[in-house]
Amino acid sequence: MIIILKPATATAMQAKLVSQFGADHEIFTHNNRIAIQGLRPEALPADVQAASESILTAVPAAVQSSRLFHPEDTIIKTPHSVIGGNQFVMMAGPCSVESAEHVDQMAAVAKQGGATIVRGGAFKPRTSPYSFQGLGETGLQYLRTAADKHGLDMITEVMDDEHVAMVAKYTDIFQIGARNMQNFSLLKAVGQTQIPVALKRGMSATIDDVLNAAEYIAAGGNHQIMLLERGIRTFDNKYTRNTFDLGAVPVLQSLTHYPVIVDPSHAVGTWELVTPMAMAGVAAGASGMIVEIHDQPTQALSDGPQALKPATYLKMAQQAFQLHDLMQTWA
């Protein structure tokens, strides 16, 4: 249940309801709203009706993530970036951090294309245990150094709740991978921090699954959440690794206040398709993009086939910003 209170008495009524129901129910407040989990409407005190503009009983389980509870866009600010609202943010970098020199070069390219955030994996969730598993903490150090040198923010994946504190020493944004979208222990752990979290949609996660996973983070008190659409698993994967579900962009934007970012690289899995799908993601209304780049894709330690070479990235990024500019004239 979400109660939209009359502003004049909202604070007092929130305090009263917390005092009365807080011991037995999860309660959340946002401006003049209050959400009470698991309470039946008939149990409300008589004066709540008079103090309310409206009482919503058809409320999703992921209540804090809902626009019904939090109508305004969430805007996330990191040292060099603003994520959400009318902004468009570019995140680029190699799939894996491969060396200090390489990630530095890639950060320079990312920046040149207008990125304010550099990506790179130091802990890699690989399908096979015998594949390259990442450089670990050393990789984080390389990425941090490159980000700082080029005046960029850093995003990197955390795979494990035990690693949260360590990764937190380096990164500006946690990335939760698609395979871990319902690793609830990990979601709870990043929810205990105040570091922004980029939550990737699982391969077969419904929209509601995504929102409930985000709610695990929010339930811990961390509301700096962005959602990444990176393609879903369908019957057709001969020519694309996944099916890029761009309908999820406006759907999520209507249901939740968190920024929605698109990941065309993982969605398609082959570089020739990245630019058109990146453009489609911008046109669908995403607040940003995360894209993989590599100067020598055939030598990449992971996911080379989907990496854009620098020149291709620079052209794509320029187009993306032009397209976003055009869209600002439509609002």
Footprint on residues 284-323 left by a copy of itself (CB under 8 A) = 284-285, 315, 319, 322-323
Q: Which of residues 19-58 bind a copy of itself (CB under 8 A)?
A: 26, 37-38
Binding mask 60-99 toward a copy of itself (x if CB under 8 A, else -) reads -xx-------------------------------------
In whole angstroms, the minimum distance from the beta carbon of 80 to a copy of itself comes to 27
Give the binding-site size for a copy of itself (rule: CB under 8 A): 73
Give CA separation, 200 vs 108, 207, 225, 287, in Å: 25, 12, 11, 15
Among 112, 207, 295, 309, binds a copy of itself (CB under 8 A): 207
Closest CA to 206 of 243, 248, 235: 248
Stretch that binds a copy of itself, among 39-47, 108-116, 168-176, 275-283 (CB under 8 A): 275-283
Report d(CA 94, CA 208) in Å as an integer: 30
| 208 is a contact residue toward a copy of itself (CB under 8 A) | yes
Stretch that binds a copy of itself, among 72-80, 98-106, 203-211, 303-311 (CB under 8 A): 203-211
Sheet holding 33-36, edge to edge: 27-30, 33-36, 2-5, 52-56
59 DSSP assignment: -
| 268 is a contact residue toward a copy of itself (CB under 8 A) | yes
Report d(CA 212, CA 277) in Å as an integer: 27
Q: Per the structure block, which two tokens stand in for 248?
A: 């999820």
| 161 is a contact residue toward a copy of itself (CB under 8 A) | yes
| 212 is a contact residue toward a copy of itself (CB under 8 A) | yes
In whole angstroms, the minimum distance from the beta carbon of 234 to a copy of itself comes to 5
| 236 is a contact residue toward a copy of itself (CB under 8 A) | yes
| 221 is a contact residue toward a copy of itself (CB under 8 A) | no
Among 74, 175, 183, 224, binds a copy of itself (CB under 8 A): 183
| 219 is a contact residue toward a copy of itself (CB under 8 A) | yes
Are the C-beta atoms of 162 and 125 separated by less than 8 Å?
no
Report d(CA 302, CA 113) in Å as an integer: 22
Which CB, 115 or 252, lies closer to a copy of itself? 252
Which CB, 53 or 272, lies closer to a copy of itself? 272
| CA dihedral of residues 195, 198, 204, 208 (deg, nearest 10) | 70
Report d(CA 31, CA 280) in Å as an integer: 35
In whole angstroms, the minimum distance from the beta carbon of 175 to a copy of itself comes to 15
Question: Judging by beta carbons within 10 Å of its beta carbon (0-12, 13-18, 19+), is residue 42 exposed, middle or buried?
Answer: exposed
In whole angstroms, the minimum distance from the beta carbon of 74 to a copy of itself comes to 18
Whats the size of the chain, residue-wise?
Answer: 331
| 247 is a contact residue toward a copy of itself (CB under 8 A) | yes
Are the C-beta atoms of 55 and 3 separated by less than 8 Å?
yes
Residue 293 identity (one-letter amino acid): I
| 228 is a contact residue toward a copy of itself (CB under 8 A) | no
